[in-house]
């Protein structure tokens, strides 16, 4: 049994999403646009936390609220629906460490594994029911594109962390350099221990680093 990920809501959008999650069924205006192409249970009122099997027999589950949010966000756009559904089952790190559908294996990093085939099958089948002309090749390309974008975002997220680490490294070097120049009368009762430590190790290494 596979279930969608718990919904991660950004603080600024929490109020907006909460309104959507309180919906017991699809809004009438959306039904007028897309007809009966959604999960059959979305047309009847129910508990937003109820787990729905995305496609009968796949054992892939998503909450009513999450599936409803996917449809409300996508409207009539089937490609957006696919992206929303994939994002509901795969977090950014999973996407970043994956080669997507596995059809085009990564020559740069053969350790990347395809996404869970059961989830992919269920999501693609659901989207094809929503948009019968949605080609599988298009869906595979979108899944691969999401993995590429996730890697790009993950790499960017590391840049500020690396800058912090580099800054901390510079601060540590400065600290060692400065403490190596502390006068003996400032060392207090631990004079002999600290002096031996700084003179024997920290002083020369700090000079070497400079």
Helix, strand, coil content of the chain in percent (nearest 5)? 65, 5, 30
Output the CATH code of domain 18-161.
1.10.10.2590
State residue 161's pLDDT score.
Answer: 56
Considering only residues 13 and 65, tell me which one the structure prediction assigns the higher pLDDT.
Answer: 65
pTM, rounded to two decimals? 0.65
pLDDT confidence band for 10 (50 / 70 / 90): very low
| pLDDT tens figures, 152-208 | 888 776 565 555 666 655 554 554 455 554 444 444 444 433 434 444 444 444 444
CB 38 within 8 A of CB 130: yes
Structure tokens, 98: 């994956």
Structure tokens, 58: 């796949």
C-alpha 51/C-alpha 65 separation (Å) is: 9
State residue 153's pLDDT score.
Answer: 84
| pLDDT tens figures, 56-115 | 999 999 999 999 999 999 999 999 999 999 999 999 888 988 887 766 555 566 677 888
State residue 199's pLDDT score.
Answer: 43
C-alpha 49/C-alpha 65 separation (Å) is: 6
């Amino acid at each position: 049994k596979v279930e969608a990920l718990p919904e991660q809501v950004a603080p600024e959008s929490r109020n907006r999403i909460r309104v959507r999650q309180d919906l017991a069924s699809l809004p009438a205006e959306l039904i007028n646009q897309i007809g009966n192409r959604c999960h059959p249970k979305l047309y009847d009122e129910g508990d937003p936390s109820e787990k729905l099997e995305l496609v009968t027999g796949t054992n892939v589950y998503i909450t009513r609220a999450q599936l409803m949010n996917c449809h409300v966000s996508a409207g009539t756009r089937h490609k957006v629906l696919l992206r929303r559904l994939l994002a509901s089952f795969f977090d950014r790190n999973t996407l970043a460490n994956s080669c997507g559908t596995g059809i085009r294996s990564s020559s740069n990093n053969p350790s990347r594994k395809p996404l869970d085939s059961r989830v992919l099958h269920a999501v693609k089948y659901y989207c094809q029911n929503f948009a019968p002309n949605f080609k599988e090749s298009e869906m595979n390309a979108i899944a691969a594109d999401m993995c590429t974008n996730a890697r790009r975002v993950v790499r960017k997220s590391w840049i500020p962390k690396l800058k912090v680490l580099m800054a901390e490294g510079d601060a540590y070097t400065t600290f060692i350099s400065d403490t190596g120049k502390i006068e003996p009368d400032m060392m207090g009762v631990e004079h002999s221990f600290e002096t031996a430590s700084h003179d024997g190790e920290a002083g020369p290494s700090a000079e070497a680093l400079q």
